[in-house]
Amino acid sequence: MRYYFPRIVFFLFLLTSCEETLLKSDTIIYNATIWTGNAAQPTATSFAIKGDTIIAIGSNEEIAHYKDKTTQMIDAKGHLITPGFIDAHVHLLMGGNSLLNVELRDAKTPAIFS
């Protein structure tokens, strides 16, 4: 009799852990031509955003599951969407020369220089 309670708790835990939870998005952009940069899925038509994170990308039908009554829907009308490009380049000679310098900006006294 004393073993029934832990078993019941264990089975209840199993039932709740098997429940599928799907994030709901703040914004869905659909009817787009999205370049993903992923060789396995080079293009998509829709993606879901939660906060500042893309939580899903796929077809309009797949992404519709992330919609609830508060989701903002944006029709891209077939326009091309690409990831944000960040230009983090270095000029070769200047970048190499900067590696030869000693960083002294945080030095508080001349004694630290030597």
Q: What is the pLDDT of residue 14?
A: 59
| Dihedral angle computed from the Cα positions of residues 86, 72, 70 and 28, in that order, rounded to the nearest 10 degrees | -60
Q: What is the pLDDT of residues 60-82, one digit of tens each?
A: 999 999 999 999 999 999 999 98
Q: What is the pLDDT of residue 92?
A: 82
Residue 66: exposed, middle, or buried by beta-carbon count in 10 A (0-12, 13-18, 19+)?
buried
For the question of whether the overall pTM of this predicted structure is more than 0.85, the answer is no
Q: What are the residue boundaries of the structural domains of the chain, listed by start?
A: 4-107
Query: Is residue 28 within 8 Å of 71, Cβ to Cβ?
Result: yes
Question: Tell me, which fold does domain 4-107 have in CATH?
Answer: Urease, subunit C; domain 1 (2.30.40)
Q: Which residues of the chain have pLDDT under 50?
A: 19
